[in-house]
Chain A
């Protein structure tokens, strides 16, 4: 692998002699797109913008229908059409040309063609059928970049009825030596599963293989499918609990390659997916839950760093702990976590803390009462969202003891804020 990288690196300066950096602006400042954008930003009124765009669209329309337009020019025209559509103007005449571009262009043009197709069309569009042939051809190409592009587009938008035609091709990509292709194939299959679950039934054991794949990227991709499958049928996958727990242990223990780290937290999205899966598997099931206690404890402990992402993991952990069969030490630690969130000066964490309290109040009403005063203070918070969340929470935690205090505070709040929180208030009255 390393000598391939070396060869690429030596080839780079020659290829990029036109550019100073890989990502810099390939379109020179006199390019048509640049001019269009500059033109739009200089205009002041919507009316003028409309006029300019209409002119632009007419010119694009002429050029795309002309037989003399080369693919290269077509690419430029497509980008401009995408831009116009993004601003809200319709450019449906360009859709068919986008498909043609994906079909006939070289790799770079194909890429723009596929992008245009994924942005312009939706799943029920009749032109989508024309795309199928192109995708089929590209999937069988020896050029791996074309295969990647085809798989990416399949993962985003594909007509349901044509799935049988393409399924075998995508399936065989699951065994491809290159991990990026395997990963994209898994995600394409996930998309198929979402739109047509019965078509994909027979290849569940292939998903298992993907789960054990040595490349973490492929394994992560398979988790999306598993999350969906487990949501629908937790019982069927309980036997996989130990595998998931092992994977999570390895991730939390830092066994993944360094570049999966995000701000020194190992593969956070992977952790969260696994936590969600474990949450579903352990619900109402003591024996399965017992397998996970250790790894949940470990995750809680490791996520001590002060960064948004660790808070995200903690939140997911806490949710998991409260959903599965309870264990007192874990509950204690989770409760402490929620407490920290609610007391935090960071507004996003406060919001999450309040949300978490609302979630756990059925199982552990004492926790909310512990933080009662903080919650009531939140009613005075300048942010409307926090106020709303607080009201929701207060409604749930009222009991005979604190009702007077809370109702007093709420009435005061209503007097100051003339908003339609009367519905929530009415619910409270009914409860009393």
Chain B
């Protein structure tokens, strides 16, 4: 719905506290006014809306394949999108009255949207990737509206845009203005990171290798209660993951899994013996465990098997390998590690040991033919990265400096630092997310081109299914426009006006998106 193309399933753990007392609140009250762009969100690159308007009726309106389109009735991705958008626009078919017998139309009606996939390969059965063409052109005029796109991915965005152009007149009739739109995203990677580990733990892969069950394409479900919160109700099964990936594909969304090592791995240890480093208290093991043990061959055997499996389960070209926030105290306490440090001439520099581990891991993952994303620390520590590595910048404060350094070294990068949506505060914080300019750092044009996008992160300490949706929407939508629309789309008042309508549209579509400010939606959320 929001033209986000990547969804990160993160496997990590986090904590943070911040106290923030607001005593009196005084804020300029925003006043809603209709935008000349209606409710379009994110704003397309080029839009011309004319005064002329046409009626659409559920009885006569159809979305169809254009004759010349390279995708036809067999393209289920598009066919299901047609139905989805028809229902968004007119409500579900059940609510329609006598639609079949009654297919009369007024000459001023718009009766058809033709969808025309122009390139010979529509990519209908493929997966979206970081290089997918998402552009489209939409012409709404008599007698038919035409949506042209080289690939299905652009067509999906065009359908969303078309549905956003439809509005209700004062008598409740659906109308659309004659419109010409030419659209494409400013950035390729427009992501949302959801942190599942903490509240729903991906446990099924943890136990691989324990029983060498290789004929099973999937990882067995956890057999004990040790690893996941609960072995049946709190895990993702392979079927769940497949369902998520297909659901996302049908909406032009990539699913990028994150498996964060060597830190943030306490839960891995519960299912995989000897994977984690035993910490010592004096000369004896203390019984607790630290990061992944980087000195054992078995660690790398496990990782090789694990990532081979993962690379077949997740079709996307990229895997996120984490690599952030490694705590060295446990490694320091362990005599075997100390010995290894000596052998390798690492001295006392444990970041060298970390780099040693990451290097081996990256080589393993490279052999699966996948590209990888890593958190910025991996780059900061000077690990040798493949040229196509994507460095994920998350540390706030001087993220512009980091972007500058990463791109100067020739790596592509995505930005998350300003978009940590789990850090809530009172008031209209969407404006803060909206005002970010990702390319606002020192660097050449070549460097700027290496920024492929950004990600809104919603870490899970304080979030689960009870509050996820209203916390994410419409705040993440602010990030969506920054990543999709042209750089000069920065009018905050116009954004408020369009986003207010966009949030009511989400509510109507069943997404309980929270309000921007005192206001109302014609059809309030009733799912209480």
A and B associate? no
